[in-house]
Structure 1
Amino acid sequence: MKNRIPFVILFIYFLNLVPVQSQSCPELDSIPELKGSVCFTAKAPLNYKAGDTSKIELFIRKFPAVQERKGSIWLIPGGPGESGASMYPLIDQFSKLFPNLDIFIPDHRGTGYSSKLCPQEEAVDSPDGMALVNDEWGSCFNYMYTNLDYVKSFTITNAAKDLSLLINTYSGSGERYIYGVSYGTQLVLRLLQLETVAFDAVLLDSLVPHQEDVAYDLSHRSLVTNDVGLSLLQDLDQRNSNEESLKTQLKAILERAKTDTAFGAQLPKQDLTILLGMMLDLPTVRNTIPEIIKGLQDDNFDPLQQATQQITSFYTDYGAAYPSATNSIPLTQVITASENNLRPEMTKAEVALESEELLFKSPLPNLIAENSMPTYTRDTYFGKTPSQLPPTLVINGTLDPKTHIDGAERHYKLLAEKNPSVSFVRVQNAPHFIALFAPHVFDKVVTEFVNKGAIKNQTVTEQSLLID
């Protein structure tokens, strides 16, 4: 408690300093799930340092409790370039799961309607909305390199301090919970390191590996994706008596694509191994991989084309109704290069060489190699874990091609060393983002956890994710 007193004084100071205002909500009348929400914009410090008076704006959307209010829950999206809009499609689910809680969804600094790294180019009313297009890339780069102090303030720690400020300002009385998914789990854990906010429970969906886990950082994403893809093929082989394994069949197809010009011309322009890696994100598409392999062996490209269309439709349609849903590539690159790439010296050529023999790949290692964005210096919170945690639920899929189950479990064990109130639940065959892709088991497990305060470590099954 003595250690918390300076933080309390500091945040009382900030509450007096930072005006908070209600505003009309964007898309309130045009998007059904946003009806009834209330929006706020808060002025927050650019840097949480004494004497620094620079400010940024943070956008928050609140969905009032649908039954008698008993507290609040904060939904922290992934990214780091994702805005709160990535959580809007799940509002109905969370409102039913937590009917007595106000639901708050913030836009991280650098995303959505909060202040951006490139304020003009990433504005909602710029030529292609918040996405960067054409010569906006050049002017965005120029702005970033002529405003380095500004850019270097968009750190994970400052984003965590933003959350602390917002949660202490808006939550009100009663119970208090927080949910984070993917990068959101990293941000929530950074927030908990600050020890400035009290929660009744923490929910971590698709926990990212520990920052210093060299086997599972973002530069290894293709290796993670390939491992999950091979595990899937092995599971499928065990359920089907094929004379030749799916792995052998797929490897032959990829070799043929390199040497058979006519065959290769019928394939999508996108690298087939990257398409296969993307299929692992979507269970309905993932389960058609045997059919795709069989089709390609017979020069039938229809199953592959259908799968490609499904992938395109999913990523195009998810969040498409929200103008603020566009990922901020500049923010993603800055944070990734500064904190989440443990092999920043790798070249694109080295990435290509390392992944040459993989059957499933991610585009991410190539995208983050040879970074040209500004970076900031890692602070004292990097690679650390919170010294104390409230009751915490970690829930991960066993076939997650982004957050490998082994990396998540290793991180969980580090958290549990000091905190016996941490529970770990595996969801059999689930990909990334359990709340979205395994909603029934997510709701069941979370309900049990919240009611009991802790549950035993276990593996659960979502019927829709069974592999035939």
Structure 2
Amino acid sequence: MIRKLFFSFVGIVSFVSTSNAQFEICNTSETIPELKLSLCSVVKTPLFHEPGKEETIDLFIRKFPAKEKREGSIWLIAGGPGESGASFYPLITKFKEIFPHLDIIVPDHRGTGASSKICPEQESLESANGIALANDEWGPCFGQMFGNIPYTQAFSITNAAKDLGVLINNLSGEGKRYIYGVSYGTQLVLRLMQQNMVKVDGVLLDSLVPLQDDGDFDLSKRSQVTDKVGRMVLQNFDTTNPKGVNLASRLEKLIERSQSDKKFAEQIPGQNLSSILGMMLDIPDARNKLPSIIEGLEKNDFKVLNDVVQDIINFYKDYGSKYDTSPSSIPLVQIITASENNLRPGMKKVDVVEEAKGLLFTSPLPNLIAENTMPTYQRDQYFTIIPQKMPPTLIFQGTLDPKTDYDGAVRHVKKLSKVGEVTLVSVTDAPHFVALFAQNSFAKIAAEFIEGKSITQTIVNDEYVALKK
């Protein structure tokens, strides 16, 4: 759908790189309800952001004009790092309610969505599998990356942040300016703040990434983080509804069985029980089924497990299936992760397997980033440091976030608090992406922040993410 919308739009948009950048109607025949009346622009920015280098890339931006009398703008910065702005489209109606007086502006940062890609041909909207790479596209994509290494290395966090600076300064319009970032988007926003390129009235960060030099929570330790949260979930169920042997001990026996009993393992999706269970920690409804899954598996009943897995598949399919720009850019994820967010670049896949022993909940990420073969870029002066000054900042963090660990976020907040007015709102039991899963609590507090009110409620209980009692 968006593929057609984008290419019909390209014919009328102005390609610019200075303050005369304009938004135009994307397509008058647009039928996706949440995208109706949105405006689009494609802006050329430098590929390298260095003097003497003239090569440019295209950045796609979509704007949703303020519902009520306009007072400014808020930029929504997606996570990933491979996710495009389309990850926010299902939430746009809610964001309009929260910020009725602000234009909502959603960019596809470099390497994602309808913006320029690392593999321009294979990740094209018009390629066989759209922007997601098909199996036979990986080889040519690798060839592109290694055939033009300087181009590939330009897709860095710092360059993406500089892109944001250009966009915010040229496309925000008059009035107040705010930025919201989620997950990797929080890292990208903070990199922008390090560069002192823009003046903003406030920053909202959702699911804050750990400090880059925090060895307890970097991406190579994702399975340990996931296991920690999973055990906390099980402990909660034991506390609220004790039934003899604790759930963790029972699950440990099931995982051992899945590794020794071939017939049992063959009935588990993907034949990796700990990884499947780790995935469930992201979605409250799925997470609440863990006791029933364990009880069923002990009886050789796989129905609850399979039903929950299908529910998860349906959840993600329903969330982004309407948007052609939804698929994440795996090349971008791998380049940025290997270059900056893996503190153990020498880790081998056998090490990942060894570290996973004894874990009840795991993530596939450590195995994916081990033994990196992608061309990486050099870490720059911004690596591991924090901004010299922060504008008023509001941070939302779930206490059961299996991706950006709560304790890691708290450590980060302590450092950020030394350079500005930073408020942490802890959302009890919330997983990753508070604005998605704890919408009412996020809406209330975010609106208060934009209105300039003091945030007095810093520990929040939200019924939609509360663990089932």
TM-score by length of 1: 0.94
1:447 aligns with 2:447: yes
After superposition, where does 1:114-263 map in structure 2 within 5 Å?
A: 114-263=115-264
Q: Deviations over 1:397-454 (max 9, x none)?
A: 00000011000000000100222x1001100000000000000110111122223354
Query: Contact 1:20 / 1:43 at 8 angstroms: preserved in 2?
Result: no
SS at match of 1:73: strand
Q: Specify the alignment match of 1:330 in structure 2.
A: 331
* Residue 384 to residue 346, structure 1, CA distance change in 2 (3 Å): same
* Residue 143 to residue 23, structure 1, CA distance change in 2 (3 Å): farther
**CA distance in 2: counterparts of 1:147 and 1:19, whole angstroms:** 32
SS at match of 2:130: strand
**CA distance in 2: counterparts of 1:345 and 1:280, whole angstroms:** 28
**CA distance in 2: counterparts of 1:396 and 1:162, whole angstroms:** 27
Q: Specify the alignment match of 2:9 in structure 1.
A: none
SS at match of 1:325: coil
Query: Contact 1:18 / 1:44 at 8 angstroms: preserved in 2?
Result: no
* Residue 429 to residue 327, structure 1, CA distance change in 2 (3 Å): same
| Unaligned ranges ≥5, structure 2 | 1-15
Q: Specify the alignment match of 1:3 in structure 2.
A: none
Q: Specify the alignment match of 2:49 in structure 1.
A: 48
**CA distance in 2: counterparts of 1:149 and 1:300, whole angstroms:** 53
* Residue 407 to residue 127, structure 1, CA distance change in 2 (3 Å): same
**CA distance in 1: counterparts of 2:178 and 2:362, whole angstroms:** 36
Q: Specify the alignment match of 1:435 in structure 2.
A: 435
SS at match of 1:383: coil
Q: Specify the alignment match of 1:5 in structure 2.
A: none
Q: How far is the alpha carbon of 1:185 from its aligned partner?
A: 0.3
Q: Specify the alignment match of 1:65 in structure 2.
A: 66
* Residue 454 to residue 196, structure 1, CA distance change in 2 (3 Å): farther
Query: Contact 1:205 / 1:433 at 8 angstroms: preserved in 2?
Result: yes
The count of residues paired between Structure 1 and Structure 2 equals: 453
Q: How far is the alpha carbon of 1:455 from its aligned partner?
A: 2.2
Query: Contact 2:22 / 2:171 at 8 angstroms: preserved in 1?
Result: no
Query: Contact 1:71 / 1:172 at 8 angstroms: preserved in 2?
Result: yes
Q: Which structure 1 residue ranges, 4+ long, deviate > 3 Å from structure 2? A: 15-24
**CA distance in 1: counterparts of 2:19 and 2:125, whole angstroms:** 24
- Cα RMSD after superposing both structures: 1.5
SS at match of 2:232: helix
Identity of aligned residues (%): 53
* Residue 25 to residue 334, structure 1, CA distance change in 2 (3 Å): same
Q: Which amino acid aligns with 1:111?
A: T
Query: Contact 1:28 / 1:36 at 8 angstroms: preserved in 2?
Result: no
Q: Specify the alignment match of 1:370 in structure 2.
A: 371
Q: Which amino acid aligns with 2:327?
A: T
Q: Specify the alignment match of 1:80 in structure 2.
A: 81
1:413 aligns with 2:414: yes
Q: Which amino acid aligns with 1:105?
A: V
| Unaligned ranges ≥5, structure 1 | 1-14
SS at match of 1:358: coil
SS at match of 1:129: coil
* Residue 305 to residue 27, structure 1, CA distance change in 2 (3 Å): farther
Q: Which amino acid aligns with 2:430?
A: A
Q: How far is the alpha carbon of 1:175 from its aligned partner?
A: 1.1
Q: Which amino acid aligns with 1:161?
A: K
Q: Which amino acid aligns with 2:255?
A: L
1:423 aligns with 2:448: no
TM-score by length of 2: 0.94
Q: Specify the alignment match of 1:4 in structure 2.
A: none
